[in-house]
Amino acid sequence: MGVQLEIVCNLAKDLVKAIENTNEEAIFVFDNSGLFVRMSDIYKYKVLEIEINKEDFINYECDKPVELGIVVSRIKDVTKTLRKGDFLSIHYEEGADVLNLSANGLNRAIKLIDVSHISRIPSLDIHYAYEAMIDHKTFHNFLKASGKTLSFDISTADGGLIMVSETEGGVVQVPWMDSLINSKTYKSKTAFSLSEISKAVSTAKGELKVSGKENEIIKFSWNIAENSRISAMVAPKV
């Protein structure tokens, strides 16, 4: 059979948005647990991992694991027509070179690309020195208030995580006091690109776990649905 699934509007749009803010091509891995995507931007500056559990699809069937090369803009042509309450149906027949999409009476067969032409990103085995929990709303407001500044600092001190951006209009600062889960005495300060972080967390919602180490890759992770998660890893600004 291959793969047959139905996905709600918001989850489909978040999936497409997260991918297009990282790269235009990705390998979709379907198996009996759901959908998995690991990808990076062309400069290997950030890595995105998406795990959508089969329980978060309306319907999901996959008779054996399969990898499909996807150009995300071809899916967006259909998902941009979705509105609240709509859903997207996806069907792949084993051995086919197209992925069939349908929504609101619209049917489209999108051409798949050879997965051998897409860079494979290995799992990043990183030892993080701290973990913190922050809320998305405050984080989003900080990124927005930072305007067009090129970079900002993420620091840990006194059991909390602090973000500081020096803008033309003055310093923007947000402290999440007592937010460190472990290593409450760990102190660090690392600069990151504002635009790269903003793209990486474009679909973030609710609470985010932040994992990091001074002058190393930082990781943001959050739930994209009840049983599904996104992790975005971004290298420090050099």
Provide CB contacts within 8 A for 55, sequence distance 6+: 34, 226, 227
Q: Calculate what percentage of the chain has a pLDDT beyond 70.
A: 100
So where are the chain's domains? Answer: 2-117, 130-234
User: Virtual CA dihedral for 135, 189, 124, 225, nearest 10 degrees?
Assistant: 0
232 and 209 Cβ atoms separated by less than 8 Å: no
Task: Tell me the CATH architecture of domain 2-117.
Answer: Box (3.70)
Q: Does the pTM exceed 0.75?
A: yes
Whether 1 has a pLDDT exceeding 80, the answer reads no
pLDDT given for residue 165 in this prediction: 97
Give the tens place of pLDDT for each residue, 135-146.
999 999 999 999
88 and 60 Cβ atoms separated by less than 8 Å: no
Give the tens place of pLDDT for each residue, 96-125.
999 999 998 889 999 999 999 998 998 888
Between 124 and 229, whose confidence is greater?
229
CA–CA separation, 133 vs 188, rounded Å? 16
Protein fold of 130-234: DNA Polymerase III; Chain A, domain 2 (3.10.150)
